[in-house]
Chains A and B, each alone.
Chain A
Amino acid sequence: MKENQPNSLLKAVAPQKRNGSAALLLPAGVVVALFLLWWAVSYFNLFPAYSLPSPLAVAKSFKEEFTAGRMVNDIIASLWRVVVGFVLSAVLGIPLGLWLGQHLAGRQAFVPVLNFFRFLSPLAWIPFAILWFHIGDKPAIFLIFMATFFPLVLATMSAVSTIPKIYFRVAKDYHYKGSELLNKVTLPAVLPQVITALRVSYGIAWVVIVAAEMVGCQDGLGYGIWEARNGLRLDSAVCYMIIIGVLGMAMDRLLAQLSKLPNVRWGYER
């Protein structure tokens, strides 16, 4: 009558990967096809070389940018700004969202304003960012913060207000109160949705940093593109675009690891 012993817990927890090789080969095939298309277009001169750089020119400029050390410098500058702005808005936004989710009056008071700012494009703040913070890391960090803070607050808040009532009943039965209730019931109950919100707003941040660095900075990936444009070096611009896309994906992979934590899996498997 006893249940069969599970032979491996990992097997039950990890999402099943039955077609491991296809999951790698298919996207790689698409990338290779796109690359070939690009190569063919430039080889047969379908576009003039000044409006579409050839793969070879881009490869050369990659080498150039890396040996000059400029690319690495720009990558570090952009990552630093995004991380600081993003962490700042998570550290302030998630607690505020938790609080608003639990206080109706707070929601009534703040939600319209929060929504207003959420729909205000962060790029609209550029004039103020430069006026207040001049040039360097600060205006970019400010813009990242403005871009991610409001969606994070609102997502956390709505996650809290949809926690099933029964969890709070159970919590009351077992005498969870105050900060324990917050840390052991409310927070874990919204964690899966908060992780999703973090991934979404990180995506916004990475898009915004490129635009922000075009105006308020002397370095960074966005500035690199801006400079390439000014020097009519489209090969260099393509280098930067590739780096921006790849880094964005890599960071998202990293954040996606959070959703593999065993105590949040439940939020993604229904």
Chain B
Amino acid sequence: MFAGAMKDKPFASRLTLEKVSHDYSGLAVLRNLNLVVQPGEFVVLVGPSGCGKTTLLNLLSGHVLPVSGKVEREGVIRTVYQYDGLFPWLTVSENILMGLRDEQDKTRRNQELAALLELIYLQGFEKHYPHQLSGGMKQRVELARVLAGDSDILLMDEPFSALDYQTRLRMRAELVRLLENRPRTVVFVTHDIEEAAQLADRVLVLSNRPATICREFKIEAPKPRELADDAVIHAMKLILQELGLNAHAAL
């Protein structure tokens, strides 16, 4: 299925956490986490605000070193940051082109840039700077930047949180389609349970701080998945229950 798009490069990706704990000057954030992300797997992290999801991504990418435990990674990692990951001194195009730094051929680079701008609906905004964009527009530029060029692992920290519902649905579908063409390992943080159920191969529910993985389940239904698919609805029920958000627990 992927042979053509993957060129001849073998899909090298490894991402594991072994007994990882982390704290920020005394504030215990993550406790004794074990995680093995399979190559090509789409893992979604959900959990209460402030429980340590962003911290977990930073540990995976190596930007933060754990206080104890072992992190192993292999492959080219790209991150969609929760806030302000764009360089404010570069235009939309220049920010996206950062992802295409390894592409030597100029026409190919420009073709891919044009395709990405179309993907994120920002044609006509190529020469704008991030401070001239709305939050959702910035988020879409970040998305284009990580998708540009070749990478093995995507870490995505609430990448669609500022988008309107319609665009969010479309971005999910596009992400699934792009991953079909070029499989990558994805670790995706979201507060949107519907999003988790539609995208995940595996959902990890984190507990309150200090966070551990309090529940994980696999969603085996093939993608793309419709919102009304039984598998999606079933998964949403499970996640809601785990977060204590189902109707009976709410009050």
Contact = CB atoms under 8 A, between A and B. Distances in A.
B238 interface: no
Contact of B121 (A1, A9, A12, A173): A1
A1 B170 CA distance: 11
Interface stretch (A16-24, A200-208, A218-226, A259-267): A259-267
B169 to A, nearest CB: 11
Contacts of B101: 174-175
Contacts of A174: 98-99, 101
| Residues of A contacting B: mostly | helix
B145 to A, nearest CB: 9
Interface string A150-181: 00000000000000101101101111000000
Interface stretch (B25-33, B80-88, B185-193, B210-218): B80-88
B241 interface: no
Interface residues of B, number: 31
Interface stretch (B39-47, B107-115, B126-134, B197-205): B126-134
A266 B88 contact: yes
- Which bracket fits the contact residues of A? 20 to 34
Given A1-B121, A174-B101, A9 B128 contact: yes
Interface stretch (A25-33, A63-71, A127-135, A183-191): A183-191
B106 interface: no
A262 B83 CA distance: 22
B131 to A, nearest CB: 5
Contacts of B84: 164, 166
Interface in A1-52: 1-3, 5-6, 9, 12-13
B92 to A, nearest CB: 11
Interface of A: 1-3, 5-6, 9, 12-13, 164, 166-167, 169-170, 172-175, 185, 188-189, 191, 262-267, 269-270
Interface of B: 61, 63, 77-79, 81, 83-85, 87-90, 98-99, 101, 121-125, 127-132, 137, 166-167, 170
Q: Nearest 10 pairs between A and B by C-beta?
A: A266-B88, A188-B89, A5-B124, A266-B131, A263-B89, A169-B63, A174-B98, A2-B121, A269-B131, A12-B132
